[in-house]
Amino acid sequence: MRKIQRIITIKNVSYSLILLNVFCFVSGLLYIAIPSHMFFWDVFGVILTITFFDNLLLVYLNLLRVNKRSKIGYKIYITCFVFLIFIILAMFGMMQGNLLSSGEISGGFLGGYALTHLSYFGILTFGILMGSFDIFTRKNPELWGQDNGSNRRKSVKNLRFQGILRKILVVVSWTGFIFGAFCAFVTLFGVFEFVATQLTFISSQYGVFLSFIFLSNTIILLKLKRERWDRKRFRRVALVGVFVSIALLSPLFLSNITSINAEIRFSEAFGQNWHQEIPDETNDYFLQTSFSTAGYYLGIPSEDCNIIENVLFYDNESIKLYFDAYMPLGRSDNLPGQNSTLIRIHGGGWVSGDKGKSNMMQMNKYFAAQGYIVFDIQYGLYDSSVAVMDFITPSYNKGAFNIDDMIRHIGEFTKYITLNADIYGANLDSVFISGGSAGGHLASAAGLAIASGNYPSLFSQNLTIKGLIPFYPSNGQMKHFGIGGSEEFTDPEKLVEAESPPCLIFQGTHDVLTYFGISNNFRDAYLAKGNTKCAIIWMLLGGHSSDFYFSGYYNQIFLYYMERFMYLHL
C-alpha–C-alpha distance, residues 397 and 364, integer Å: 22
**Residue 327 β-bridge partners:** 306
Binned at pLDDT 50, 70 and 90, residue 195 comes out as: low
Q: Which position has the higher pLDDT, 158 or 376?
A: 376
Number of residues written out for the chain: 570
pLDDT in the model for residue 388 = 52
For the ranges 152-161, 349-358, 492-501, the one whose mean pLDDT is highest: 492-501
pLDDT at 4 over 80: no
pLDDT in the model for residue 480 = 84
pLDDT in the model for residue 70 = 79
Q: Which position has the higher pLDDT, 186 or 153?
A: 186
pLDDT at 563 over 50: yes
Rounded (10°) CA dihedral 198, 83, 298, 543: -20
C-alpha–C-alpha distance, residues 345 and 437, integer Å: 10
pLDDT in the model for residue 380 = 96
pLDDT at 166 over 80: no
Contact 290, 552 (CB under 8 A): no
pTM attached to this predicted model: 0.91
3-state secondary structure string, 239-250?
HHHHHHHHHHCH
C-alpha–C-alpha distance, residues 178 and 235, integer Å: 17
Within 13 Å of residue 237, how many CA atoms lie on the same side as its CB?
21
Binned at pLDDT 50, 70 and 90, residue 104 comes out as: low
The residues, ordered by sequence, that sit 6+ positions from 265 with a Cβ below 8 Å of its Cβ are 535, 536, 537, 538
The residues, ordered by sequence, that sit 6+ positions from 512 with a Cβ below 8 Å of its Cβ are 190, 191, 192, 197, 200, 543, 544
Average pLDDT score, the chain? 88
Residue 226 to residues 79, 237, 242, Cα–Cα distance (Å): 18, 11, 16
Question: Element (H or E) spanning 377, and its range?
Answer: strand 373-377
Task: Report helix, strand or coil for 403.
Answer: helix
Binned at pLDDT 50, 70 and 90, residue 376 comes out as: very high
C-alpha–C-alpha distance, residues 302 and 363, integer Å: 9
Percent of the chain residues topping a pLDDT of 90: 62
pLDDT in the model for residue 1 = 37
- C-alpha radius of gyration, the chain, whole number: 27
Contact 378, 336 (CB under 8 A): no
The residues, ordered by sequence, that sit 6+ positions from 301 with a Cβ below 8 Å of its Cβ are 35, 107
Binned at pLDDT 50, 70 and 90, residue 161 comes out as: low
pLDDT at 449 over 70: yes
pLDDT in the model for residue 192 = 54
Do the strands 319-327 and 373-377 form a parallel or antiparallel pair, or are they unpaired?
antiparallel
The CATH number of domain 255-568, selected from 3.40.50.1820, 2.40.50.140, 3.30.390.50, 3.90.1150.10: 3.40.50.1820
Average pLDDT over residues 425-447: 97
Angle, CA of 492, 497 and 503, to the nearest 5°: 65
Binned at pLDDT 50, 70 and 90, residue 16 comes out as: confident
pLDDT in the model for residue 5 = 43
**Residue 398 β-bridge partners:** 381
pLDDT in the model for residue 200 = 67
Average pLDDT over residues 231-238: 90
Q: Which 8-state DSSP code applies to residue 502?
A: P
Dump pLDDT digits (tens) for 287-304.
989 999 999 999 887 778
C-alpha–C-alpha distance, residues 485 and 534, integer Å: 25
Q: Among 4-8, 68-72, 481-485, 524-528, where is mean pLDDT lowest?
A: 4-8
Angle, CA of 421, 460 and 406, to the nearest 5°: 105
pLDDT at 156 over 50: no
Q: Which position has the higher pLDDT, 96 or 11?
A: 96
Percent of the chain residues topping a pLDDT of 70: 90
DSSP of 408-464, one letter per residue?
HHHHHHHHHHHHHHHHHT-EEEEEEEEEETHHHHHHHHHHHHHHHT--TTTS-TT--
The residues, ordered by sequence, that sit 6+ positions from 4 with a Cβ below 8 Å of its Cβ are none
pLDDT in the model for residue 8 = 45
DSSP of 474-496, one letter per residue?
-TTGGGGGT----HHHHSGGGG-
Dump pLDDT digits (tens) for 246-291.
999 999 999 999 999 999 999 999 999 999 999 999 999 999 899 9
pLDDT in the model for residue 160 = 62
Q: Which position has the higher pLDDT, 350 or 197?
A: 350
Contact 486, 454 (CB under 8 A): no
C-alpha–C-alpha distance, residues 347 and 472, integer Å: 10
pLDDT in the model for residue 3 = 45
pLDDT in the model for residue 155 = 46
Please, what sign has the CA dihedral across residues 195, 201, 204, 210? Answer: negative
pLDDT at 51 over 90: yes
Residue 362 to residues 70, 222, 446, Cα–Cα distance (Å): 52, 41, 24
For the ranges 173-187, 310-324, 377-391, the one whose mean pLDDT is highest: 310-324
Binned at pLDDT 50, 70 and 90, residue 107 comes out as: low
Instruction: Spell out the alpha helix ranges (H) of 250-306.
Output: 250-253, 255-270, 280-283, 293-298
pLDDT in the model for residue 467 = 98
Average pLDDT over residues 500-511: 95
Dump pLDDT digits (tens) for 537-560.
999 999 888 898 999 999 999 999
Q: Where exactly are the structural domains of the chain?
A: 2-253, 255-568
pLDDT at 209 over 80: yes
pLDDT at 53 over 50: yes
Axis crossing angle, helix 39-65 with helix 207-225, rounded to the nearest 10: 10
C-alpha–C-alpha distance, residues 380 and 319, integer Å: 8
DSSP of 333-374, one letter per residue?
TTSTTTTEEEEEE--STTTS--SGGGG-HHHHHHHHHTT-EE
Contact 90, 98 (CB under 8 A): no
